Amino acid sequence: METDRREFIKKALYSVLALLGLGFLIPGIKFVAPGEVRKKELAFFPLISEDELPRLGVKKTELVFSVNGRERKTRVYIVSSPKGPTVFSAVCSHLGCLVNYQKEKNEFVCPCHGGRYDLAGKNIAGPPPAPLTRLPIKIQKGVVMAGLKV
């Protein structure tokens, strides 16, 4: 009985040491401490072709991106002004509902609690505590690319 217990402890100890050793020897194996958060990095994804940019006004579209090989999409608005295009995430800064563009008011309105944003993305009424998230953009070979932290 005592021998079984000692044998079990010895095997458990060797297993832990073997796992730790593998972690040091094989670079692909990474131990993640509980609570450790992977740092998000900015990556650019194609949004629309440069020809499709509205000259003035607002265009609703979806940004398709990938995280860990999984394809995802999120609604964004492209606001074109004489200063150039700006891209905003449609995710409301209050509780994350998707805002809609209301042409007659020239505002973004959140259907959940009535939050309102102007065309610069600034929160102007209702509960949203912050502006809409503005996505960095760049144009590469005629394609408008929008940046997300993934």
The single-letter code of the amino acid at 122 is K
Q: Does 94 bind ligand FES (CB under 6 A)?
A: yes
Helices (H) and strands (E) in the chain, counts: 1, 11
The single-letter code of the amino acid at 87 is V
Q: Tell me whether residue 46 or residue 131 sits nearer to ligand FES (CB atom).
A: 131
Containing H/E element for 150?
Answer: none
Are the C-beta atoms of residues 85 and 144 closer than 8 Å to each other? yes
Q: Does 131 bind ligand FES (CB under 6 A)?
A: no
Cβ 65 to ligand FES shortest distance, Å:
22
Q: Which of 47, 110, 132, 148 binds ligand FES (CB under 6 A)?
A: 110
Instruction: Count the neighbouring beta carbons within 10 Å of the beta carbon of residue 69.
Output: 5
Q: Which of 65, 90, 101, 128 binds ligand FES (CB under 6 A)?
A: 128
Residues that bind ligand FES (CB under 6 A): 92, 94-95, 97, 110, 112-113, 115, 126-128
